[in-house]
Structure 1
Amino acid sequence: MPIEQRLTDVSALPPSPGYAHAVTVSGRLAFVSGQVAIDKAGKVVGADDLGAQTRQALSNLHAIITELGADWSDVIRFTWYMLDVSEVQTVRDVRDELIRPALGDAHNPASTLIQVAALFGPEFLIEVDAVVALP
């Protein structure tokens, strides 16, 4: 596997709250475009439901990374874009439901959360992109 280290303990920082501060890799990388809650037919999934939108966006992301021959355990970094970061626990719960089985005891990938004024369309509540270490 190209992920070599998930740095979670840094003496000058408080303990990591469940994600890696940094991830080191070797080999090829894929930079996956941001995904929103659109199904295969191009219809919005989960209008006004952050959990449903997060699940669909991650499902879309997973379809792309599996097409590349990778899985959740190969994700180095997520970047999350949300309209309201006060609802981050909903995103964490869905993320953990979907990716924890692939990670086992490993910490979650490095992660950044950004609150934005708007996304691709007014119906979207969240967007997520990723950097993936290709096996």
Structure 2
Amino acid sequence: MGESADHLRFVQVPALGLTPGYSHLAEVRGGRTVYLSGQIAVDAQGEVVGPGDFTTQARQVFENLRLALAEVGRTFDHVVKLTLFLTDMADLPQLRAVRDEFIDLAQPPASSAVQVAGLVRPELLVEVEAIAAAP
């Protein structure tokens, strides 16, 4: 965090109310957009990390996003949108706590959270996809 992002503007729309940990919209002015596929809690060998442990899985998901961003020379400072997929919306507070370790809370990305019936592997509890933009 702390990298200059003059090409980005994160907006809270007063008429839509205060939002915890996300912006109502993110505006990208010029630059390059990177779309990250949904990341799941697997390690480099494709093994599930933390079966049955939501927080461990969430942390692996965000670490995988960090690694993907780094591959193209980007960080979470460049993320303008997160989409969170959970198998149980009751886990959202835990997911937000982990997310908050990675994002800039002063300028949080736009975000959506969706409860799903299941993910690509039955032992997975969370998946997160991202859109990043850089000058």
What's 2:34 paired with?
Answer: 30
- The structure 1 segments of at least 4 consecutive aligned residues displaced by more than 4 Å after TM superposition are none
Task: Indicate yes or no: 2:23 matched with 1:12.
Answer: no
Q: Which runs of 5+ in 1 are unaligned?
A: none
TM-score normalized by the length of structure 2: 0.90
What's 1:123 paired with?
Answer: 123
2: distance between equivalents of 1:134 and 1:4?
8
1: distance between equivalents of 2:65 and 2:79?
10
Q: Is the contact made by 1:19 and 1:111 (CA closer than 8 Å) also made in structure 2? A: yes
TM-score normalized by the length of structure 1: 0.90
* Aligned residues with identical type, % of pairs: 40
1: distance between equivalents of 2:56 and 2:37?
20
RMSD over equivalenced CA pairs, Å:
1.3
Q: Which amino acid aligns with 1:91?
A: L
Q: How many residues align?
A: 130
Secondary structure at the counterpart of residue 26 of structure 2: strand
2: distance between equivalents of 1:64 and 1:20?
23
Q: Is the contact made by 2:58 and 2:95 (CA closer than 8 Å) also made in structure 1? A: yes
What's 1:79 paired with?
Answer: 83
Q: Is the contact made by 1:20 and 1:111 (CA closer than 8 Å) also made in structure 2? A: yes
2: distance between equivalents of 1:18 and 1:32?
20
Secondary structure at the counterpart of residue 128 of structure 2: strand
Q: Is the contact made by 1:69 and 1:134 (CA closer than 8 Å) also made in structure 2? A: no
Deviation, structure 1 residue 68: 0.7
